[in-house]
């Protein structure tokens, strides 16, 4: 039986006769109608809620739109101000980059370390995996951000625990030196989902490679560096991209822990939080649209560079 594409078949038996008389438009509809009918909701969403708004926000980023009056073209004034005279923008960039650069590698390191420990034919693997995975499933909830805020408060549990070993901790969330670190810790605590991906990746590495390496006299450490790590680079790459983009878009923990301010002294002013304040706190919608497009470009550049450099360190079969 020959495999024929679905959309093309449905009209063949019945409509062969009318096809000769049909207008090109009707012919087009008969060939493609089903596909476009199925895509109708997506088209409405794609043009009405995705591409359309994205282009409009690009336009708004060159205006002084404030939600009440109609927008006036201001040229590159928003961008110019953001890049030359906006201390909060620079601070938001610093906070977000620092968060991404510290939390993502730490998270992946924990994820890989625990995945390696679990991947040794250990008894109780499903239980451990479930325990380590649970925080990353629950962690995005506001409830967890609320919990974190109280754990790291001046009279919080963390300081009580530190008290047992003789350390008098500060109020972590209201100290500008540490506030961001509590959010980093919250992100690292959620290493479960990259761990699950690492576990699946480790299973894909053929056992005979380790046996061959062992016969050649490779130590465990050597096997890790020369077999496990290279073969795992596609998974590491994948995890790093996903987690990196996520870090740039992070909003809720900083909002809840800082009460929507990004304080103390803007030390938790995440990029998205700053954008939110500009848009819905000060109604500087034009400026916020410019910030959104800068975020898009940052993410695009980050992803682009990652893919370009990936061929130097990511190992692909064939």
Q: Considering only residues 278-307, where is the footprint of another protein by CB under 8 A?
A: 279-280, 285, 288-289, 291-293, 295-296, 299-300, 303
Choosing from 19, 49, 109, 229, the residue that interacts with another protein (CB under 8 A) is 49
**Cα 99–chain centre separation:** 13
- 22: DSSP letter: S
Identify the residue among 24, 41, 75, 217 touching another protein (CB under 8 A). 41
251 binds another protein (CB under 8 A): yes
Site residues (CB under 8 A) for another protein, limited to 116-155: 117-122, 124-125, 128-144, 146-151, 155
Q: Are 112 and 198 in contact (CB under 8 A)?
A: yes
Among 292, 188, 166, CA closest to 247: 188
Q: Are 235 and 205 in contact (CB under 8 A)?
A: no
Among positions 157, 212, 229, 301, the unique one binding another protein when judged by CB under 8 A: 157
Four-point Cα dihedral 221, 222, 224, 228, nearest 10:
-170
Counting contacts by CB under 8 A, is residue 39 touching another protein?
A: yes
In angstroms, give the least distance from the CB of 157 to another protein: 5
**By three-state DSSP, how is residue 140 classified?**
coil
What Å distances lie between residue 203 and 81, 94, 125, 200, 229, CA to CA? 51, 38, 13, 5, 13
**Shortest distance, CB of residue 253 to another protein, whole angstroms?**
10
Q: Which of 15, 18, 19, 35 binds another protein (CB under 8 A)?
A: 35
Residue with Cβ nearer another protein (48 or 230): 48
Site for another protein contains 219 (CB under 8 A): no
Those residues with Cβ within 8 angstroms of residue 219's Cβ, 6 or more apart along the chain or in another chain = none
Sites for another protein among residues 50-89 (CB under 8 A) = 50-54, 56-57, 60, 65, 67
Region from 79-87, 99-107, 167-175, 275-283 binding another protein, contact rule CB under 8 A:
275-283
Residue in 207, 308, 311, 318 binding another protein, rule: CB under 8 A: 207
Are 127 and 207 within 8 A, CB to CB?
no
To the nearest whole angstrom, how small is the minimum distance from the Cβ of residue 38 to another protein? 4
Backbone φ and ψ for 317, nearest 5 degrees, come out as: -60, 135
């Amino acid at each position: 039986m020959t495999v024929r594409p679905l959309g093309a078949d449905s009209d063949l038996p019945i409509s062969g006769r009318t096809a000769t008389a049909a207008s090109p438009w009707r012919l087009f509809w008969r060939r493609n109608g089903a596909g476009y009918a199925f895509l109708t909701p997506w088209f409405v969403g794609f043009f009405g809620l995705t591409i359309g708004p994205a282009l409009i926000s690009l336009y708004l980023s060159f205006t002084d739109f404030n939600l009440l009056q109609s927008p006036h073209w201001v040229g590159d004034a928003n961008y110019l101000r953001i890049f030359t005279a906006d201390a909060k923008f620079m601070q938001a960039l610093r906070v977000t980059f620092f968060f991404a650069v510290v939390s993502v590698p730490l998270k992946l390191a924990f994820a890989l370390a625990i995945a390696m420990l679990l991947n040794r034919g250990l008894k109780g693997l499903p239980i451990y995996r479930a325990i380590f995975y649970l925080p990353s499933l629950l962690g995005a909830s506001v409830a967890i951000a609320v919990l974190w805020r109280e754990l790291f408060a001046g009279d919080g549990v963390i300081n009580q625990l530190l008290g047992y070993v003789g350390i008098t901790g500060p109020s972590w969330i209201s100290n500008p030196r540490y506030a961001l670190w509590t959010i980093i810790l919250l992100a690292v605590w959620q290493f479960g989902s990259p761990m699950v991906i690492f576990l699946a990746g480790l299973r894909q590495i053929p056992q005979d490679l380790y046996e061959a390496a062992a016969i050649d006299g490779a130590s465990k450490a050597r096997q890790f560096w020369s077999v496990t790590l290279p073969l795992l680079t596609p998974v590491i790459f994948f995890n790093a991209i996903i987690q990196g983009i996520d870090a740039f878009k992070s909003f809720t923990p900083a909002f809840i822990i800082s009460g929507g301010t990004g304080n103390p002294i803007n030390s938790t002013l995440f990029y998205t939080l700053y954008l939110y304040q500009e848009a819905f706190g000060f109604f500087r919608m034009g400026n916020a649209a410019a910030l959104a497009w800068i975020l898009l470009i940052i993410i695009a550049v980050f992803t682009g560079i990652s893919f370009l450099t990936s061929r130097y360190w990511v190992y692909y079969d064939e």
